[in-house]
Structure 1
Amino acid sequence: MKNKLTLDINKSIAGVFLIIPFSYSTIAGFRVVLIATLLLFISFLIRGGIVKVTTDFLLFTLNALVVFYLSIYSANHNEFFAFLLFFIFLYWPHFIKGKAINVNNMSRFIKLYAYSALFCSCGVICQSLLYNKFGIEFGKIDTYLNRTGFGFLWLDYSFLSLYLASSIPLIFREKMKFKYFFSLIIIIGSITTTARTGLFALVISMLFLSFAGFFSSLLKAKVKKNDFIMICLAFILISTVVLLWGSYSNRELTISGSGRFEGYLHAFNVFIDSPYLGYSYDVVAYKALFGAVPHNIFLYTMVFSGIMGIFLLLLWFLFIFIRLRFIDSYFKLCLISIFIGLQFIPSFYSGYFIALILSLSILSLEHEKK
């Protein structure tokens, strides 16, 4: 009976990772992501037990209460529900006893994350091919002055780009067959979205980790081979992106901010004018005035939840960093690239894949301790 319950839990969680590509899809007006939440909730009921409470868990819970209060205040409940889903996807390992998820099952979850990203990448490539060659449209497509964005099943191109790029370190972590071919497909898919966020963040994180490793090695008078390999791979990735960009994207490859910096200035001025409650997660009202929400995790939080929200977020980042500082280099690369990407995208808790990556990092660390 116990083995059967454990099997059911692992199937439920595996289902969550398979649903990631459909996070923003609806069926008969019903959000598909709620199915994933239901699967996790069933897992919690099956397994039972005492919830594991850590400092970062408490801080995130307090932040959820702040979002709840402000959402009620502004009568905008969608933001709270998004935050609640993010919380469940992030901290599901806290509700399930560790023995229910062994190392092999965790490896399967990571592979499912990577295969889901590969599916989305192939979808974007096919979407672009059908649109450009035959004029056939399906999924999310937007035409701007200087580019045509392809999102497949996703609503935000930067989110999709970051999701795709974040899967590459995990492909190598699991030593998946055809890892170089899979990575190339995902790189092409990320380029095809026309969003630069994901690959830019991955390159910067690779350079950061490699140079940090070199600096540490110099202090110890011993250079590690892995640091040299990573910096070489970073330049190979840069060369690959530059080489392929013109073939799969009609957007000019630049480092311009695409209007984000003007949005940052507006956001900061709004925070100065209303530092306590901000816009209280009234996203509609903010968009009506400024056209778009701030594409930066910290400014977004400052604008919509004021001083208390940004204070709790910064504390949470500090304690989750302390908790995860000993994860392996693949997860570090993945999380650092996501953190860099968060400086260029809006509401981070709408990116459920970020929560799932963090949950896998937590689970990985727990297994390493054992």
Structure 2
Amino acid sequence: MMRSLIFSPSNTIVFIMVALIPFSYFDIFGVRVIGLCLFLFVALFFLSPKFSISVDNNVWLFLLPFFMVLSFSLASGSKDFLSAIVFFVYLLIFYFFDVSKLSAVVNKSCFVYLYGAVFMAVGVILQRISFEKFGYEFGKIDVYGGGRVGFGFLWMDYSFLSLYLVSTLPLVFYLYRSVCVKAIVVIILLVGSVVTTARTGLAALVLTTVFIAGLEFAKAIVIGKARKQVFLVLLSLLFASLLIIYFYVEFSSRTIRFDSSGRIDGFYLGFKSFLDNPFTGVMFDRSYFLEEYGTIPHNLLVYILSQGGILLFIVFFIWFFYVFFVAAFRVNLFRYPIIISVFGFMFIPSFFSAYYFALLISFSMAEKRIMAKGLGQK
């Protein structure tokens, strides 16, 4: 349910920044629209009371890997430092608000975030209809062998888009009361994910279902009973998994297969590059990696090892596991979007350009602050 909110410049800036997520990879005259968030962030800083920001372990733990990525990227001439800066900005956007005002801001921002995901899902669906029925192309489209056609609309990577859409599904059940509206929005997001032809969203959804089922089964054994709410969540996740498989069979131009799509080769090449450069990796020099080794690893663990070496790997995953722990055990609303995304990153060849994930983390840390103060989001 959306809460009433008094207008303020700070709130408006945050809503605009959230609304920019669907345009993460869209550029105008060669300039990424998402870069606007940097100027908005500066404005947000100066509009905050006494130019202050309240930080927590999420920020402190991210600082070291953040500065390591900046240093490596600048030293190698990589543009990843820009992605890391934008990622960091999205991590911080809710820290400027006092916890007493945070609930209403987060609540309305959730709606903006969900509308953005629906916008992207409708975009890829219209892309496919336009391409197949009228022969007209717009947005990101790639034709592959075997009859597969990838649709990305405003996004460049189909796996990222597929994961983004699927990870938004749990929010639908919180934000809408009407069963009919929930069903319509869920179907739009699922069909949109399927139309991209990427399997990442499907894989992440299935793995999340298995993980949550195993976790709750272990809890039930320990305490001797299972929570009804969790049982309903598991049924919803299972139903969504089956539904997306059905949609994949019916609507995707790509058949469901369990092959690695070359990912195993990427793992091998990633480990090889790590062994060649164990302390610094290739310093996020994508051009060098592609020239010397080939395919970028489609796995977060191998990606960080190959790009930044063992030292970055250690400090990065201290932060990453903290985020996962908070999502799994300390928050409610953003638990499943975070967990779905974490499993999805096991199949994606990048991380710091996943700005939507930085925003989800910021959402979850805000929810953690709200819950700590006993202020609900109803």
Structure 1 pair 58–329 and aligned structure 2 pair: CA distance change class (3 A): closer
Paired with 1:322 and 1:176, the residues of 2 have a C-alpha distance of 29
1:22-51 CA-to-partner distances (Å, cap 9, x unmatched) read: 111111222100112222221111104433
Partner residue in 2 for 1:286 = 289
Residue in structure 2 matched with residue 267 of structure 1 by the alignment: 270
Mapped to 1, the partners of 2:237 and 2:61 lie a distance apart of 35
- Residue matched to 1:164: 165
Question: Percent identity between the aligned chains?
Answer: 32
Once the two structures are TM-superposed, the CA of residue 238 in structure 1 deviates from its matched residue by: 2.9
Which residue matches 2:31? 30
Partner of 2:130: 130
Distance in 1 separating the partners of 2:295 and 2:91: 27
Instruction: Map Cα deviations across residues 180-227 of structure 1 (whole Å, 9 max, x no partner).
Output: 110111000000000111132122212321332132123222222223
AA in 1 matched with 2:123: G
Equivalent residues of 1:209, 1:333 under 8 A apart: no
- Give the Cα–Cα distance (whole angstroms) in 1 for the partners of residues 337 and 197 of structure 2: 21
Letter in 1 for 2:137: E
Aligned residue identity for 2:54: K
In 1, the alpha carbon distance for the partners of 2:104 and 2:74 equals 43
Which residue number corresponds to residue 63 of structure 1? 65
Q: Does 1:185 align with 2:188?
A: yes
Unaligned runs of 5+ in 2: 374-378
State how far apart, in whole Å, the 2-side matches of 1:176 and 1:12 are: 28
Partner of 2:93: 92
What CA distance in whole angstroms lies between the structure 2 residues aligned with 1:176 and 1:299? 41
Mean alpha-carbon deviation: is it higher for 286-295 or for 181-190? 286-295
Does the residue aligned with 2:349 lie in a helix, a strand or coil?
A: coil
Instruction: Tell me the equivalent position of 2:376.
Output: none
Is 2:209–2:238's contact at 8 Å kept on the other side of the alignment?
no
Q: TM-score, normalised by structure 1?
A: 0.93
Q: Supply the AA of the counterpart residue of 2:47.
A: I
Counterpart contact for 1:120–1:152, Cα < 8 Å: yes
Residue 134 to residue 141, structure 1, CA distance change in 2 (3 Å):
same
TM-score of the aligned structures, taking structure 2 as reference length: 0.91
Secondary structure in structure 2 of the residue aligned to 1:346: coil
Matched, 1:368 2:361: no
Task: Name the structure 2 match of 1:227.
Answer: 230
RMSD in angstroms over aligned alpha carbons? 1.9
- Partners of 2:228 and 2:157 lie apart in 1 by 38
Name the CA distance, whole Å, in 2 between partners of 1:169 and 1:180.
12
Aligned residues: 365
CA distance in 2, matches of 1:53, 1:103: 17
Matches within 5 A, 1:203-242: 203-242=206-245
Q: Which residue of 1 aligns with 2:261?
A: 258
Distance 1:101 1:295, change over 3 A: farther
**Unmatched segments (≥5 aa) in structure 1:** none
